[in-house]
Amino acid sequence: MSTSVDWDGVFADTPRSAYVPAVVWGSDDARIDRDKDPEAWADAVAADAPLVTQMDDGMPDGNLIPTSSSSQPSLVRLMLEQLDVASDHHILEIGTGTGWSTALLSAALTGGRLTSVEVDPLVAIQAHESLRAADPMPTLIVGDGLHGYKEGAPYDRLIATMAVRNVPYAWVEQVRPEGVILTPWGTAYHNSGLLRLVVAGDGTASGRFVGNVNFMWARSQRPRFEARRFVGDVIADPSACRVRHTATDPRPLQEEHADFAIGLRLPDVEQRTFFGSGAHAGEFTTWYADGESWASVDYVPDAASFEVNEGGPRDLWREIEAAYQAWRARGEPRREQHGVTVTGDGQWTWHAGSRGRVDCGSSNPWKASWNVSSM
Question: What CATH number did the domain enclosing 110 receive?
Answer: 3.40.50.150
User: Average model confidence (pLDDT) for the chain?
Assistant: 92
What was the pLDDT predicted at 2? 60
Close Cβ partners of 28 (under 8 Å, ≥ 6 residues apart): none
**How far from chain centre, in Å, is Cα 185?**
5
- Whether the ω angle into residue 154 lies within 30 degrees of 0, i.e. cis, is yes
The mean per-residue pLDDT over the stretch 332-339 comes to 97
Confidence check: pLDDT of 375 > 50:
no
Confidence check: pLDDT of 370 > 80:
no
**Range with lowest mean pLDDT among 87-91, 156-160, 232-236:** 232-236
The mean per-residue pLDDT over the stretch 274-283 comes to 93
Confidence check: pLDDT of 118 > 90:
yes
Cα Rg of the chain, angstroms = 22
Half-sphere exposure of 110 (CA within 13 A, CB side): 10
Range of the domain at 106: 7-20+71-161
Q: In what order do the strands lie in the sheet with 270-275?
A: 242-246, 306-311, 294-299, 284-289, 270-275
Banded model confidence at residue 62, pLDDT cuts 50, 70, 90? confident
**Range with lowest mean pLDDT among 153-157, 344-348, 369-373:** 369-373
* Percent residues over pLDDT 70 in the chain: 96
Out of 68, 71, 192, 206, pick the active-site residue.
Answer: 71
The mean per-residue pLDDT over the stretch 190-214 comes to 97
**pTM confidence score:** 0.93
- Which tops the pLDDT comparison, 266 or 240? 266
Instruction: Identify whether 292 is part of a domain.
Output: no
**How far from chain centre, in Å, is Cα 176?**
24
Instruction: Identify whether 182 is part of a domain.
Output: no
Instruction: Identify whether 83 is part of a domain.
Output: yes
Instruction: Identify whether 347 is part of a domain.
Output: no
Instruction: Identify whether 191 is part of a domain.
Output: no
Identity at 175, one-letter amino acid code: V
The mean per-residue pLDDT over the stretch 335-346 comes to 96
Q: How many domains does the chain have?
A: 1
Compute CA distances 29 → 52, 64, 138, 149, 162, whole Å: 8, 8, 32, 34, 20
Q: Of 135, 142, 151, 81, which Cα lies nearest the Cα of 116?
A: 142
What was the pLDDT predicted at 177? 98
Confidence check: pLDDT of 364 > 50:
no
What was the pLDDT predicted at 66? 87
Confidence check: pLDDT of 146 > 80:
yes
**Range with lowest mean pLDDT among 105-109, 256-260, 368-372:** 368-372
Whether 210 and 196 have beta carbons less than 8 Å apart is answered as yes
The mean per-residue pLDDT over the stretch 133-151 comes to 93
Banded model confidence at residue 73, pLDDT cuts 50, 70, 90? very high
Instruction: Identify whether 225 is part of a domain.
Output: no
What was the pLDDT predicted at 371? 30
Going by their DSSP bridges, the two strands 175-186 and 155-160 should be labelled as parallel
Active site residue 71: yes
Confidence check: pLDDT of 92 > 60:
yes
Instruction: Identify whether 94 is part of a domain.
Output: yes
Instruction: Identify whether 269 is part of a domain.
Output: no
